[in-house]
Amino acid sequence: MTDRTILVIGTYDTKNDELSYLARVIRAQGGKVVTMDVSVLGEPPQPTDYSKHDVAAEGGSSIQAAIDSGDENHAMQIMARGASLLTSRLHRQGVFDGMIVLGGTMGTDLALDVCTALPLGVPKYVVSTVSFSPLIPAERLAADTQMILWAGGLYGLNSVCKSSLSQAAGAVLGAARAVEPPTPGKPLVGVMSLGTSALKYVVPLKPALEERGYEVAVFHATGMGGRAFESLAAQGAFACVMDFCTQELGNHAHGSNISAGAGRLTSAGQAGTPQIVAPGCYDLVDVVGWQPLPEKWAEHPKHAHNRLLTSIVLNTEERREVARAHARQLATAQGPVALLLPEAGLGEWDRDGADLHDKEGLQAFLEEMRAGVPENVTAHWLPCHINDAAFCDKALEIFDDWCAAGMVKC
């Protein structure tokens, strides 16, 4: 079948053999290929569908400007901007169904921008000499980017290199054939949470919302989940959000690498999407468990969740800072915001009698929240725990009132 078209991007002046091999494998499997050259200095052995001049011009510049800059980093940023804009436009026009980019550090830098320019659900593969490397920060990764290590391929084709490239070619074509992009037939509610050992509200909420005719997407608040949630919220994908685990905001405020970025808790509000918010697990900061623990956390209580992730229990003043971060982010909202504040705790471990419960710290957080609730936010103080039935009942009451008022799309 020639049923799907893959956009193959790279520097065709120096990587033509590898890029052409990718294209041959895709075509041999029945796919179609369009090509985009993002080189600067050299010329490809044969023309590509979209030339380097097309790419630079799309970004409002030129190849000559890139050359005249005299700086390879600046030149590649010109090409990255042009490639991102051109790729985005070509996808909107239906030119391709999936994309693959090949490169070293320069090509990977460009590839990350191009992936971010495409919406969730478009297969996007990066074949890179630095796949999975700490050189790549989480904030540069689109939520559904796939990476494959470009092994043994620095100077041309060989059997090791072909093994990586052929897998990548088959993966992107297979993904383009199999993917079901997020186009729900029902209005979509976005929910943030963790597993039921910490937060249990999804268990009753999800079926209750589905009975009301909504599709529910639950995102795991471990950094990349929050990034995907914020990305979809910025696109206006949600009829309403129930953002009941904002731990990533505290992670970011206290410098953890497990972060959804500085924009956490802002995208839905800036899109005007109705938000029901609760600061679930506000009292914990997650850090990378296999890395040396920063000195600032040395005296804090901590819980090793597994070999990847360790949770740090915040002290009173650190909790106050998390409260202030919530107020700053929610103040930017353009749509309705209901803030639910359960006074008996905000995580299963933060319950009276539980191992990590800190009554003084909880009260300090709630006091700071009370003092800082923005004028655009309606606060609801609940005499219950976040995992109690009363919490879900209040969330659904607000949701139903907003639906009846036409504030939430039915």
Q: Which two tokens stand for residue 273?
A: 């999407």
**Which residue, 94, 104, 57, 47, is CA-closest to 79?**
57
Angle, CA of 235, 261 and 107, to the nearest 5°:
85
How far is residue 243 from each of residues 266, 313, 317, measured CA to CA in Å?
Answer: 11, 21, 24
**Which residue, 62, 74, 146, 70, is CA-closest to 111?**
146
Q: What is the pLDDT of residues 217-272, one digit of tens each?
A: 999 999 989 999 998 999 899 999 999 999 999 999 999 989 999 999 999 999 99
**Given strand 124-128, what is the order of strands in its sheet?**
32-37, 5-10, 98-103, 124-128, 145-149
On whether the CB atoms of residues 396 and 405 are closer than 8 A, the answer is no
* Alpha-helical runs (H) found in 153-303: 159-178, 202-211, 224-234, 247-253, 267-270
Overall size of the chain counted in residues: 410
On whether the CB atoms of residues 6 and 97 are closer than 8 A, the answer is yes
Domains and CATH numbers, the chain: 5-178 (3.40.50.12020), 188-404 (3.40.50.12030)
CB proximity list for 311: less than 8 A, separation 6 or greater: 284, 285, 286, 287, 302, 303, 305
DSSP characters for 105-144?
HHHHHHHHHHHHTSPTTS-EEEEETTTT-TTS-GGGS-TT
Q: What is the pLDDT of residue 355?
A: 83
Q: What is the pLDDT of residue 152?
A: 85
On whether the CB atoms of residues 91 and 61 are closer than 8 A, the answer is no
Q: What is the pLDDT of residues 364-391, one digit of tens each?
A: 999 999 999 999 999 999 999 999 999 9
Look-up of token digits 């740090």: 312
From first to last of its 410 residues, what are the pLDDT tens digits of the chain?
568 999 999 999 999 999 999 999 999 999 999 999 999 999 999 999 999 999 999 999 999 999 999 899 999 999 999 999 999 999 999 999 999 999 999 999 999 999 999 988 999 999 999 998 889 988 888 888 999 999 887 788 999 999 999 999 999 999 999 998 877 689 999 999 999 989 999 999 999 999 999 999 999 999 989 999 998 999 899 999 999 999 999 999 999 989 999 999 999 999 999 999 999 999 999 999 999 999 999 999 998 889 999 999 999 999 999 999 999 999 999 999 999 999 999 999 889 998 888 999 999 999 999 999 999 999 999 999 999 999 999 999 999 999 999 999 88
